[in-house]
């Protein structure tokens, strides 16, 4: 079959650039922009697809996780084959995004966003979109973006509810002006305990991307709003959030989340029967030697990107940066024990 050339850029974006708030100038600004998407699960995969289709010139997609079957109900960029291939989400996303839009640059980064690497990632972007599922990373992003003066869009979704707010350092409140401290993780419901409606994910992600596009095209009419919605209940409200002069982050410029007071070395994943164990220092695991050692203890699979080890009860996924995802438990102590037992600490 003859390959058809992609349509010319002008034609591709014709229905978008004709919009009065975009026009040719806005389309060009999108093409000249780099967007960092932190987390490529439910929210992030929708953000990635929308920004790729809209013609954002460079996408940097970061995610620390691999795909599993229960992701597919809401992570619309992915397929059953991606799950069978046990691909890291960032890599699977990049492959689909390149098929959707071959005219833009797409970069997949499979890593955990931490105080050690966040500034280098954010520095390269004109805008950061929150596709995370945890407050630890959001407060880290807030610190980093305020410090570097980069805009970011916060978004959260749970059940059928969502919250969205764009943060433009110097022009309005930051996340900590509104929510000074992250909630106690042990008291917050998760995707696992409460579930999440895929239509709510779409709405929240669409709103985040819209807020981001306003910033990228420099819409003079845009105003900072804090949105709260419930797609099942049919409610949508927004207020103008106020900056807090006493804010420890944008007021006093104390960046505690960025300066390394990062919590434990293990993280219980939202919506997952899984715990991530992060080594104290970055390591480069020797996959060949590990596979040899683990072969006699269980089933190992190496797909060139991650090493997976399966026992009767648990699965351990080893990433190239030394992180281990332990599936089959939500107990951090047990997870650390399994990592110490099978992988070494």
Q: Give contact residues for Zn ion (rule: CB under 5 A).
A: 174, 176-177, 247, 249-250
Which CB sits closer to Zn ion, 255 or 319? Answer: 255
In the bound state with Zn ion, the residue whose beta carbon lies nearer, of 121 and 174, is: 174
Report d(CA 186, CA 83) in Å as an integer: 29
Pick the closer one to Zn ion by CB: 19 or 239. Answer: 239
Q: Residue 233 CB: number of other CB atoms within 10 A?
A: 9
We find the least distance from the C-beta atom of residue 182 to Zn ion, in angstroms, to be 14
- Residue at shortest CB range from Zn ion: 247
Q: Which is nearer to Zn ion, 56 or 250 (CB)?
A: 250
CB of 85 to Zn ion, least distance (A): 42
Q: Which is nearer to Zn ion, 93 or 145 (CB)?
A: 145
Residue 49 beta carbon to Zn ion: minimum distance, rounded to whole angstroms: 31
* 124 vs 253, beta carbon nearer Zn ion: 253
Q: Which of 58, 149, 158, 38 is nearest to 101 (CA)?
A: 58
| 216, two tokens | 């990228």
Beta bridge partners of 333: none
Minimal distance, residue 250 CB to Zn ion, in Å: 3
Mention every residue, 6+ apart, whose C-beta is less than 8 A from residue 197. Answer: 159, 160, 231, 232
The rounded distance, in Å, linking the Cα atoms of 112 and 187 is 24
Cα(277)–Cα(324) distance, rounded to whole angstroms?
5
**Alpha carbon distance 338, 316 (integer Å):** 8
Query: In the bound complex, what is the minimum distance in angstroms from residue 247's beta carbon to Zn ion?
Result: 3
Q: How far is the CB of 243 from Zn ion (least distance, A)?
A: 6
Among candidate residues 296, 294, 300, 302, the one with its CA nearest the CA of residue 341: 294
For residues 11 and 13, give the distance between their C-alpha atoms in angstroms, rounded to a whole number.
6
**Closer by beta carbon to Zn ion, 176 or else 323:** 176
Structure tokens at 140: 């880290």
Beta bridge mates, 88: 66
**Is the alpha carbon torsion for 338, 340, 343, 345 positive or negative?**
positive
We find the least distance from the C-beta atom of residue 246 to Zn ion, in angstroms, to be: 9
Q: Supply angle C-alpha 237, 243, 249, rounded to 5.
A: 120
């Amino acid at each position: 079959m003859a390959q058809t050339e992609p349509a010319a850029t002008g034609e591709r974006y014709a229905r978008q650039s004709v919009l009065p708030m975009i026009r040719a100038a806005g389309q060009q600004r999108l093409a000249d922009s780099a967007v960092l998407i932190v987390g490529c699960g439910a929210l992030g995969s929708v953000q990635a697809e929308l920004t790729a289709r809209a013609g954002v010139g460079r996408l940097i997609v970061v995610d620390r996780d691999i795909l599993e079957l229960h992701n597919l109900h809401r992570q619309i960029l992915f397929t059953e084959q991606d799950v069978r291939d046990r691909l890291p989400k960032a890599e699977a996303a990049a492959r689909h995004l390149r098929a959707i839009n071959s005219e833009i640059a797409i970069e997949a980064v499979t890593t955990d966003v931490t105080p050690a690497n966040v500034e280098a990632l954010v520095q390269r972007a004109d805008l950061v979109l929150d596709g995370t599922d945890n407050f630890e990373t959001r407060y880290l992003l807030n610190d980093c973006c305020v410090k570097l003066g980069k805009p970011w869009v916060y978004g959260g979704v749970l059940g059928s509810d969502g919250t969205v707010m764009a943060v433009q350092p110097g022009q309005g409140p930051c996340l900590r002006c509104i929510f000074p401290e992250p909630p106690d993780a042990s008291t917050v419901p998760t995707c696992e305990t409460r579930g999440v409606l895929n239509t709510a994910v779409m709405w929240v992600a669409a709103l985040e991307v819209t807020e981001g596009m306003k910033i990228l095209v420099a819409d003079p009419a845009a105003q900072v709003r804090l949105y709260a919605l419930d797609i099942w209940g049919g409610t949508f409200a927004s207020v103008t959030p106020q900056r807090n002069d006493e804010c420890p982050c944008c007021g006093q410029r104390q960046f505690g989340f960025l300066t390394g007071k990062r919590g434990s070395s293990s993280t219980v994943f939202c919506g997952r029967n899984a715990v991530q164990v992060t080594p104290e220092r970055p390591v480069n695991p020797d996959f060949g030697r590990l596979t040899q050692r683990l072969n006699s203890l269980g089933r190992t699979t190496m797909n060139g990107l991650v090493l997976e080890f399966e026992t009767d009860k648990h699965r351990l996924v080893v990433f190239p940066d030394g992180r281990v995802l332990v599936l089959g438990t939500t107990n951090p102590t047990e997870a650390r024990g399994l990592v110490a037992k099978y992988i070494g600490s």
